A = this chain, B = another copy of it.
C-alpha cells in the first residue's frame, strides 16, 4: 500500500495570470439522464438518446465532444478560423474522443490527461497559453459517457452488474470553454496545479474516497500559495467527489483547521437528484465539464458569484494497474474564476 502526502513542500504550485484571460463562453452537451436532473434546463443541449444518432457509444461520445467545441466557438462569437488551439482530453484509452474530435477541426491540438480533473487542467493550461501571449484564443474541453466508461473501467452494460452503494454514476456529457485575450466575461485569475497523491484506496468503485485526499492536497497548496482561506470565495466546487467523497474532503480539511462551510459543494452532488439512482452522485470528466460550463459560468455572468474556486479531481488508475494490485493515485487541479470588473 502506497500512502503519500505531499503538502509539506515549500514550492509554489500556483500560477498567476496577470493578463486575466477571459472565458468568452462555455457550452454544455448533456445526455438524456443528465437532462432529467436538477440542472437539465440550463444545459445548452440535451440529447434525446445516448447514442446521439451513432452506432456505438464511443462514436456518440466523440460527437458530443465535437458538438460542445463547435457550440462554444459559436456562442463566443468566434469562428474556427479565429481559434488557435484545442487543449483537451478524456477518459477513454488514448483519449480518442478528444483526438478524433480534434481531427474534425482546423486547430493545433494539445492532448492532456488528468482523468476527471481534465476540465480544470485544460482551463489552466489554456489560460497559461493565452496569458503568456502564445495564442489569442484557446478552446478547453472534456467529456465522458456512462456506457463507454463502464465498459472500459468496469463491465459492459449488457453484463448487468450491480453497483455498490459507494459507487458513482459516470456522467454522459461534454463541455467546452473558450479562453481569450480579448472580449468580456469571467476571468481566470490563477491556477494551482496538483501533485499526485495516493491514500491506498484499491476499489475502482470508490472514486470519491480515492480522490478526496488529492483535492485536500491541492486546496491546502492553493490557500497557502494565495494566502487566502475559503472565506475569500463566494463558492467552492470540487469536480466529482460525490456525497461520500465530499464529506471525506470536509473532514480532511477540518483536521487541518480549514472549514469549507456552506459555500462548498461538489459538481457530482448537483447533477443528479435522489430519485435518479446515481448512488453517491455524478462522476467522469463530463460531470465537472457540464456543471462548470452551465451553472458556474452562468452564476458568475449573472453577478451571483464574484469569485469561484473550481477544483476538478481525477483518479489516474487503469484496468492494468488495478489487476496488478496497485492502489489508486489521484490528482486535482484548481482554477480561480472571477467576475469581470470592467
Contact A81 B9 (CB under 8 A): yes
Q: How far is it, in angstroms, between the C-alpha of A128 and the C-alpha of B130 when the chains are bound?
A: 11
Tell me whether A103 and B193 are in contact in the complex, defined as CB-CB below 8 angstroms, given that A15-B134, A115-B94 are known contacts. no
Contact A96 B2 (CB under 8 A): no
Q: Nearest-CB distance from A195 to chain B (Å)?
A: 6
Question: Interface 1/0s, chain A 287-318, versus B by CB < 8 A?
Answer: 00000000000000000000000000000111
Q: Nearest-CB distance from A18 to chain B (Å)?
A: 10
Residue total for A at the interface (Cβ-Cβ under 8 A)? 59
Tell yes or no: A260 within 8 A of B by CB.
no
Tell yes or no: A319 within 8 A of B by CB.
yes
What is the copy number of this chain in the assembly? Answer: 2
Among A38-46, A69-77, A105-113, A172-180, the stretch in contact with B: A105-113
Given contacts A58-B321, A93-B94, A103-B198, 7 further A-B contacts (CB under 8 A): A4-B103, A9-B106, A56-B324, A102-B331, A105-B196, A109-B195, A132-B132
A-B contacts, 26 listed (Cβ < 8 Å): A6-B106, A9-B81, A13-B108, A15-B134, A59-B324, A89-B113, A92-B320, A93-B93, A93-B94, A93-B318, A93-B320, A94-B316, A94-B317, A99-B113, A99-B329, A105-B196, A106-B195, A108-B195, A109-B194, A111-B112, A111-B316, A112-B113, A125-B125, A128-B128, A128-B129, A132-B132
Question: What residues make up the interface of A, taking CB atoms closer than 8 Å to B?
Answer: 2, 4, 6, 9, 11-13, 15, 56, 58-59, 81, 84-85, 89, 92-96, 99-100, 102-103, 105-115, 121, 125, 128-129, 131-132, 134-135, 193-198, 316-321, 324, 326, 329, 331
